[in-house]
Amino acid sequence: MAVGIFDSGLGGLTVLKAAQSRLPDVDFLYYADSARAPYGVRDAEDIYQLTKSAVQDMWSKGCDLVILACNTASAAALRRMQEEGLPAGKRVLGVFVPLIEAMTERQWGDNSPPREVAVKHVALFATPATVSSRAFQRELAFRAIGVDVEAQACGGIVDAIEDGDMILAEALVRSHVEALKRKMPEPQAAILGCTHYPLLESCFQDALGAGVKVFSQGDLVAESLADYLQRHPHMQGSGAGGYYTTGNPGRVSDRATQFLRRKISFQAA
């Protein structure tokens, strides 16, 4: 039995690592659409069609529950997939909501009306597609009022990480943080709205300063998933776990091994 974790590339491995640590008895099927990554520069329709196709493939491999561990896919495809209807017994969840629940100090799954929260000024760092979708702001508005969000589209970071060029990625982080602080000089919290970005969390923190609380998604999504599976134990699926990619399995395996610092072997999707 396996829970599916989907990303356009390798960023979702940060969610997978946290989920495996939190839920050691659960098998996971990780699916990377590496041949078409990154999604963050694509238009919304393209992202939707690619995400839908990948999720359907994961369902065919026995996953009943798929986590979109890709903020761009969560922003551009999740709500539409849910509104258009899912097959019986299948669920798709995103990564924005657990992060927002943590930032607004809600219990997992708390859908009570929006209310005042302590954090008033939030910096959002995400891909251009995620920023343009305003999905984060929409989900936040369901849970909190009076919060000012300043979004920074962080072009180039995902490509640098996927290429293994961490020096360039760190330089881009510093540049994007400087650009955001010109618009919002004193954010109280910062959202790393891409699952690649936790690999650079310390760089974001250093650039923002110690007084800014940085929220990244791995551990938060893992805790939320643990709570969900406790309430819905039948959603663990029927297929076996594993690692799949639409890209070159050898190259993706090498990059994934560098990401997680343990041997990872992908097979062709």
Q: Which residues touch 238 (CB under 8 Å, ≥6 apart)?
A: 1, 62, 64
Tokens of 2: 């396996």
For 110-122, give one letter per residue: b (16+ CB within 10 A) or e. Answer: eeeeeeebebeeb
The partner residues of 150 in beta bridges, in order of sequence, read: 123
- Rounded CA-CA distance 44/40 in Å is 9
Averaged pLDDT of the chain: 94
For 160-191, give one letter per residue: b (16+ CB within 10 A) or e. Answer: bbbeeeeeebbebbebbbeebbeebeebbbbb
The reported pLDDT for the residue numbered 163 is: 86
Cβ–Cβ under 8 Å, residues 147 and 181: no
Domains along the chain with CATH numbers: 2-94+218-268 (3.40.50.1860), 97-215 (3.40.50.1860)
Question: Nearest Cα to 55, choosing from 268, 263, 269, 217?
Answer: 269
pTM higher than 0.75, yes or no? Answer: yes
The reported pLDDT for the residue numbered 240 is: 87
- Of 63, 154, 194, 203, the active-site residue reads 194
Question: Residues of the chain whose pLDDT is less than 70?
Answer: none
DSSP string computed for 110-122: --PPPEE-S--EE
- Of 63, 70, 154, 203, the active-site residue reads 70
The partner residues of 267 in beta bridges, in order of sequence, read: 244
The reported pLDDT for the residue numbered 3 is: 97
Any catalytic annotation for residue 194? yes
Burial of 204 (0-12, 13-18, 19+ CB in 10 A): buried
For residue range 110-156, list pLDDT tens digits in order: 999 999 999 999 999 999 999 999 999 999 999 999 999 999 999 99
Cβ–Cβ under 8 Å, residues 66 and 48: no
Tokens of 192: 């790393």
The reported pLDDT for the residue numbered 238 is: 83
Any catalytic annotation for residue 70? yes
